Structure 1
Amino acid sequence: MKKFDWRNIRLRKVSIEDLNDRLLLINLYATQAITLVIGLIIVYLQKNNDLHLFDLSAGWIIVVWGGLFAGLVLLADVFAGRWVPEEVTDDGGINQMLFENRPLWHIAVISLIVAVCEEILFRGAVQHAIGPYWTSIVFAAVHVRYLKHWIMTGLVFSISYGLGWIYIRTGTLLTPILAHFIIDFVMGSIIRFRRES
């Protein structure tokens, strides 16, 4: 078995033209792993009851609030797609490259991993410390590729604030995780099947 040499790992800034599918997936999964680890460390240091984060006692309320919020976001996206110029919603081609050739099951896996990792960090850890408003500012800033256009930055901020609100409303992290998953999965699927049509 070949031994892995950690010294061969190089960090560098990469443009969209330099990305291939393998490098894109490595970056995606690595950043999500880092996000998850940081989120779990912060939750642990806050002595926040991490089992409470995944409380199922709200029952169907989780599905109702998660589904309703995701539906509103998707409706807003359709609305924005009709009246906002395409260059304003451009993320540099990252989403297109990530989803356009991906099988549906892989879009679901990516959406689930991103939803779980980001919600543990932002709603479970950061929001617990600084509240939904400041968490949403951090969330929008972390999504750097959208910062070029104020409409996309405002949309990302609003989605984050809404995810924080439904987390407070239901008392379980499962609600924003479900909403985040539905939003990413549907948007990824739209990108995937738009290519086929």
Structure 2
Amino acid sequence: MSSPLTLVLTVVLVGYLAVATPLLGKHSYDRLARTRDQDPTAYRRMFTLWSAELWALAAVALLIVAVEPNLDAADIGLVLTEPLDETLGTIASVLVGAAVALLVLRWLAARSKPVPDQRSFNHLLPRTPVERWYAAGLSVTAGVTEEIIYRGLLIAIGTGALGLSKEVAACCALAVFVAGHLYQGWRGMLAVALVGFGLTWVYLRTGSLLMPILLHVLIDLRGLVFTPQPRREVVGHTG
């Protein structure tokens, strides 16, 4: 980092992501688990807070890029590296596959078939149409902001400021990403690690965040919006 401001912002951001995000996320999720049945606004309040936090962190990440001469949009993947027609073709293929998957999930939801291992996040599942909109909003927010922060900026910091190889920097960024999902317990974090590994692989292969962002949004929509709600007695006993 070539400026004191960049260094301070980077240390604060990485420290927050590595320490505060896991602890605060677990605290707020556990609180939602305790109070949701008694407080109908708890779900919407937590999702609003999480969304605001993610956009604020993404703004700090973009500020670091703006003030650091050795970083630009290309370094954090905010560019198209393939011809536009190829990019659009790839997006179309992903959307078709995602549409089929979402239709299957809707069918499962209508038949009340549970999704395996949803216990690690079942308090995040919406119960009302209004909560479903909040879940959709957080899915889009997380897909955009987390890719900019964890995949784009952290890997760039690892390779640029710390001199790590792309692979090592990506592993470190993935570890911080997984830690941010501490509230899901070890089973949920294992699933997050697998998803994060796939998104990281796509980013390293393409050099652009476009596909990881799109895939991340679709994965979160599947997980939150199109996952069948577990029976209430199961929800009440899961933390």
Fold conserved between structures, TM > 0.5: yes
| Structure 2 runs not aligned, ≥5 long | 1-23, 37-41, 103-107, 109-113, 159-168, 232-239
Amino acid at match of 2:177: F
Contact 1:32 1:117 in 2 (8 A): yes
Change (3 A) 1:152 1:108: closer
Q: 1:27-176 alignment to 2 at 5 Å?
A: 27-44=49-66, 45=68, 47-50=70-73, 53-58=77-82, 59-60=87-88, 62-63=90-91, 86=117, 89-91=118-120, 93-96=122-125, 99-102=126-129, 106-130=134-158, 131-146=169-184, 148-149=185-186, 151-176=187-212
Deviation at 1:69, TM superposition (A): 10
Contact 1:39 1:122 in 2 (8 A): no
CA distance in 1, matches of 2:51, 2:229: 23
CA distance in 2, matches of 1:47, 1:123: 18
The structure with the larger Rg is 2
Contact 2:202 2:212 in 1 (8 A): yes
Change (3 A) 1:171 1:92: closer
CA distance in 2, matches of 1:68, 1:117: 24
Deviation at 1:21, TM superposition (A): 3.0
Change (3 A) 1:67 1:126: farther
Choose from 3, 10, 18 the match for 2:35: 18
| Structure 1 runs not aligned, ≥5 long | 1-10
SS of 1:56's partner is coil
Amino acid at match of 2:52: A
CA distance in 2, matches of 1:57, 1:124: 14
Contact 2:135 2:224 in 1 (8 A): yes
Change (3 A) 1:111 1:159: same
Number of residue pairs the alignment of both structures matches: 171
SS of 1:191's partner is coil
Change (3 A) 1:93 1:188: closer
Amino acid at match of 1:37: A
Deviation at 1:127, TM superposition (A): 1.6
Amino acid at match of 1:114: A
Q: Which residue matches 2:214? A: 178
Contact 1:119 1:173 in 2 (8 A): yes
Aligned-pair identity in percent equals: 23
SS of 1:185's partner is helix
Change (3 A) 1:46 1:154: farther
Deviation at 1:128, TM superposition (A): 1.6
Which moved further from structure 2: 156-165 or 183-192? Answer: 183-192
Contact 2:121 2:188 in 1 (8 A): no
RMSD: 3.6
CA distance in 2, matches of 1:133, 1:176: 16
Deviation at 1:153, TM superposition (A): 1.8
